Amino acid sequence: MNPTDTAAPEAASRRVAIVTGGSRGIGRAVAERLAREGLVVAVNHASDSGSARETVEAITAAGGRAIALRADVADEHAVAAVFDRVRDEFGGVDVVVHCAGRLALSPIADLDLDVLDAVLRTNVRGTFVVAQQAARRLRAGGSFVAFSTSVVATRFPAYGAYAAGKGAVEAITLILARELRGRDITVNTVAPGPTATDLFLDGKTEEQIEALAKAPPLERLGTPGDIAHVVAFLTSAQGHWVNGQVLRANGGMI
């Protein structure tokens, strides 16, 4: 783990969040939104230290507090070290938002099984590892939010590996919500529809993007900000009665 530190020690009363995959896309939007809500944010990234630094700089420029911490979410020792660092620096963890993920598109018949293993390592094992640490470390009143995909319900072709992994994410988090009974900790999963991120747009033609934008009744792609609003609600006091749910934030798709 190679931390990039720009934060001073915080008062114990300030809420603290860890956002995995926080260097780009939805993860960055979530990190910046939570910082605007007054949380100290630890921005986790796997390799893109430059983008993680940009996220931290954007947060600090707006008057927030953030640090960047590098860790592969599927590596339990690296993830534990992130939680240790945040505890030591800020006193504890109140919110964990697990945005990190990997996408591979291919018909099931043609998918390289090494690619399948890589997708499942990040999306299933990674979710389990982060959820495990969150279950052990979150303070009372806290929240864990994971990410699935609306493709679990829409069943678009070529998304077999991705949807399989995200189906596992939904199972993991819904069970965790029940396991944390009595702890005053919420566990939910957000399942976005088509959202204009680099991960989503990469490799798609203009025609494919237009067709996907027309799929929701609202007839547009979602934005990272749309999803960040949902996460901000779920991790707020106002959203604390929502627990053990999969919220399909997709503009009205299935």
Which letter, b or e, does each residue of 17-52 get, where b requires 16 or more Cβ atoms within 10 Å of its Cβ?
Answer: bbbbbbbbbbbbbbbbbbbeeebbbbbbbbeeeebb
DSSP-assigned beta bridge partners for residue 4: 68
Residue of 83, 128, 159, 162 marked catalytic: 162
- Which residues, in sequence order, are CB contacts of 39 under 8 Å at separation 6+? 14, 15, 16, 17, 94, 95
Q: Are 6 and 56 in contact (CB under 8 A)?
A: yes
162 annotated active-site:
yes
DSSP structure class, residue 110? G
DSSP secondary structure letters along 43-100: EEESS-HHHHHHHHHHHHHTT--EEEEE--TT-HHHHHHHHHHHHHHHS-EEEEEE--
The secondary structure of residue 195, as a DSSP letter, is B
Catalytic sites, residue numbers: 162
